[in-house]
Structures are given as structure tokens and as C-alpha cells.
Structure 1
């Protein structure tokens, strides 16, 4: 074989960081060793995989075509190594999840996974939908768990479970005691919402556009708990998944606002890069998601 797995590993690290120094640091190599491995790979096949732009190395078309196959190859090689060195087939996992899923649904999944693989390590990265999509396409994570709808030809996206969002306010708000509120009444309120790019915001904006039009957005916050606290202080009303509001409604800290005119139902999704090698760890996580 004219190439080594180390060369492939170096190539992928440089593709990720677009910088030889950072790639070398990740792989615990000297900069010269990393640079030499890439140069040797390119010379062996008389190809150039990167365009050199100052100190940055940007994948060219040849490099992009190689990267998807190289990711699968390295993942398979890693699995073979793990199975040869241990009797546990399940290994480490990189999971990306949007806010509600990461904070409220992933804990049970991690517990179930670690029961089967107690020595494994799970890295859970919580970010908004657009960020998770970027990380999937960059092979930074093994699987994405999303509240927002995304489309990309390189991603395998499947419906996971249904969810419903709920508008809510503080107990002292003027709408708190109403059995039903209209979409026009909601539009007139000051809103505290998730940032644009989040799945929660995507669902809310779509529902309001269909029923009442754009509301007055007073605050945009990236954290669910910050939104709930701001609403409880009377700074405005909001809309979040009912998953993260159950305890607040139960204790009366926040009050749901019923509005039959708004369709706030949505689907949660699982996404994997089509060129990602589905090892035993990834398949086990997908199985747990479908069973949960």
C-alpha cells in the first residue's frame, strides 16, 4: 500500500484546522513531521490536496473528494484497533445536539450508552441548528440531534420524534389568567426569543408568519434558562419546547398561553454525514434514540 494511516490522519487534521501547526499539536507531532507526512502523501501520488493561502491550507477539489473517503477509512481503522485492543466493541462518541435536546433528552441516552460501554467517553457539544449542521459537514461530530429543519445533499437526515412548543408568560402578566389568547394579542406583546439560526426560533417564526405576522422581539438569548428567567421577571413573553417547561408550569413559576391559531408542533431530527462510517458506537446510539 502506497500510503499510511498516519498520512491519512495528518491529512484530515490539516483539513480540519487549515493549519499545519494546529494539526501537529492535535496529533502530538512536530510541525516538520506533520508537514513532511502531507508532502510525502502528495508526492507519492503526484497530487496537490490543498491550495496554499498565506499560512492557511484550504482544501481544493481533489482534497475535498479525498476527505469524505478518508474520514470513513480512518473511522473503520479506529474501530478495528479498538476491537483488537479490548473486548468492548462500543467506544467513544462525538454527539452534537441543539439546546433543548442536549439539555433535556441526551442525559438518559448517555446513561443507557454508558451502561453498555462504561469505559467509553461521550463528548456532547450543544449548539444551535446551523452550528450542528456545520460540524456534521466538517466531520467534527459523529451524529447531530436537531430541533430545526436542515437540508444538505451530504447529510442523511431522518425524523426522530415529535415535539410541541408552548408560549408562556409570568404569573403576573396580563395574559396569564386568559383561557385562550389570539395570535393578534400575542403579536402585540414584547417577546424574548432564541437567536436566529436555532430550531426553536425557526418553528416560532414560521407559526407567527402564518397566523399574525412578525412580533416585536425585545431580547434574543441563546440559553433556555436565561429566557425563562427573563420571562419570570416580567421582561416579556416567550415560546419554548414543552420539554423544558414542565417543571416550571408544575410549580407555577411560569404560565402557559394557549393559542389555537398557532401551529407550534415540530419534528426533531437525527443527522449523520452520508460518508461517515457507521461503526458499532454510532449504530448503538441510533438504536437507543429509536428505543427511547
Structure 2
């Protein structure tokens, strides 16, 4: 073999940091050693993996082609190393989740995963759909749990479970006493919504597309809890996932509003990079997600049972 796993680690670190000094620091080695190893890798095959602009390293076309293959090879090596060293079948995993999923579902799944595989480290990143998609596409996360309909040529999108948004208000709001809301009601109220780029906002905009240009959007917030607090304070009406509102509805601090004729149903999805090696840890996470989902919400997909 004419290359080493260490050379591939340095190549990927340089791709991530776009700077050989920062790449060396991330691997706890000297800049000169990292630079020499990267240079040797290129010279061995008479190739160039980066365009060098000053101190910046930018992946060229060949480098971008090699990156997912190097990621997959190192992931396989890491899994083998973990199995040999700890006799564990699940290694470290980096999971991304959108706001509703991350704050109301993923933490419980993470706790179950770590209880089942105590030697496996889990990192959880919570952001909106747009951000999680970008991180999975860039190999910064092993997989993502998203609530938006998203197509990406490099990502595999697997349906996970059903969900729905709910229009809601404070109990004291005038609309809380109405059995159903008409379009005129939807146009008259002030709305407190998630920001553009979120899966929740995507579903809301689709459901209200014909009214959207004339709706009064008072606030656009990144956090579900902030929306709930603003609606509780009487600032307006909101629309977020039912799973985020169950406790508030039970306590009657917030109440659901009936909006007939508006389809607020949606799905949650798993996303994985098509060229990323699917480790045992990823398979175990997908399986646990499905085990912890109510049967009436679960979407059967054979790709989760690989």
C-alpha cells in the first residue's frame, strides 16, 4: 500500500480547516510533519489535491472526489479499531437534529443509545433544517434528523415518522373561543413563526400559500420555546409541531385552534451522505429511533434495516 491512514487523516483535516497549520494542530502534530506527509501523499501518486492560495488550501476537483472515499475508509478503520480495543459494536457518532426534533425527541433517543452502548460517545448538534443539511453534506455530521422536505443530490433522504403542525394561541385570545377559524380570521391575527430555512416554516408556508402575502407576520424566531412564550404573553398566534406543545396543551397554558382546510401534516426524515460509510453506530441509531417511535407514526422503509 502506497499511502497510510495518517496521510488520509492529514488530507481530511486540511480539507476541513483549509490551512495546514490548523490541520496539524487539530491532529496534535507539528506543522512541518503534516505538510511533509501531505506533500508525500501527492508525490507518491503524482497528483495535486488542493489549490494553494497563500496559506489557504482549497480542495480541487480531484480532492473533492477523493474526500468521501477517504472519509469512508477512515470510518471503517475507526470502527475496526473500536471493536478491537473495546469489543464494542457501536463507536462515536455525530448526529444533527432540527429544533423540534433536537429539543423534544433526540435527547431521549441519545439517552437510550448511550444506555444501550455505554462506551459510545454521541455528539448532538441542534440547528434548523438548512444548517443540518449543509453539515451532513460536508461530512461534519454522520447523519441528520430533519423536519423539512429537502432534496440534495449528494444526500439519501429516508422517511422516518409522521408529524403535524398546530395553530395555537393563549387561552385568553379571542380566537380561542371559536370552534373553527376562517381565512378572514387567519388574515386578521398577528403571527409568530419560525424563521425561513426551518422545516416548520416550510410546512406553514406551503399550507398557507394563498394567504401568505397578506398575513401579518409579527415575529420570526429561531427557537420554539421563544415562540411559545410570546404566544402565552398574548402577542399573537403561533404554528409549530404538535410534539412541542403537548405539555402546554395539557396544562392549558396554550390551546389548539381548529383550522379546517389547511393541510399542516408533514414528515420527519433521516438524511445521510450517499458516499459516507454507514457504520454500526449509524445503523444502531436508526434502529433505536424507529423503536422509540409510536407505531401509528412510524413510516416503514427498508433502508433503515440494512
C-alpha distance in structure 2 between counterparts of 1:22 and 1:237, whole Å? 47
**Gap regions ≥5 residues in structure 1:** none
Shift of 1:282: 0.7
Aligned to 2:268: 268
Query: 8 Å contact 1:129–1:198 — kept in the other structure?
Result: yes
1:102 aligned residue: 102
Q: Provide the residue aligned with 2:277 in structure 1.
A: 277
RMSD: 1.2
Aligned to 2:212: 213
- Alpha-carbon separation, structure 1, partners of 2:261 and 2:188: 15
Q: 1:43/1:169 Cα in 2 relative to 1: closer, same or farther (>3 Å)?
A: same
Partner of 2:155: 155
SS at match of 1:218: strand
Unaligned runs of 5+ in 2: 293-306
Rounded to whole Å, the distance in 1 between the matches of 2:183 and 2:22 is 51
Distance 2:13 2:192 in 1: 40
**Aligned match of 2:84:** 84
Looking at structure 1, the residues matched to 263 and 80 of structure 2 have their Cα atoms a distance apart, in angstroms, of 48
Q: Distance in 1 between matches of 2:53 and 2:257?
A: 54
Correspondence 1:217-232 to 2 at 5 A: 217-232=217-232
* Inter-partner Cα distance in structure 1 for 2:239 and 2:224: 10
Q: Which runs of 4+ in 1 moved over 6 A?
A: none
* Distance (whole Å) between structure 1 residues aligned to residue 187 and residue 264 of structure 2: 15
For residues 128 and 38 of structure 2, what CA distance do their matches in structure 1 show? 34
Mapped to 2, the partners of 1:184 and 1:267 lie a distance apart of 28
Partners of 1:248 and 1:154 in 2: CA distance? 39
Q: Distance in 1 between matches of 2:83 and 2:99?
A: 33
Measured after TM superposition, the shift of residue 174 of structure 1 is 1.5
User: How far apart are the structure 1 equivalents of 2:33 and 2:221?
Assistant: 44
How far does residue 46 in structure 1 lie from its aligned partner after superposition? 1.0
> How far apart in 1 are the matches of 2:227 and 2:33?
49
Q: Supply the distance in 2 between the matched residues of 1:74 and 1:44 (Cα, whole angstroms).
A: 19
TM-score normalised by length of structure 1 = 0.97
The secondary structure found in structure 2 opposite 1:6 is helix
TM-score (normalizing by structure 2):
0.92
Paired residues, what number? 291
1:21, distance to aligned residue in structure 2 (A): 2.2
Match of 2:68 in 1: 68
For 2:53 and 2:253, locate their aligned partners in 1 and report how far apart those are by CA, in whole Å. 55
Other structure's SS at 1:111 match: helix
Aligned to 1:21: 21
Greater CA deviation, 25-34 or 276-285?
Answer: 25-34
Kept after mapping to 2: 8 A contact 1:192/1:236? yes
Q: What is the rounded CA distance, in whole Å, between the counterparts of 1:219 and 1:30 in structure 2? A: 50
Going from structure 1 to structure 2, the CA distance change for 1:175 and 1:30 (only over 3 Å counts) comes to: same
Inter-partner Cα distance in structure 2 for 1:186 and 1:228: 18
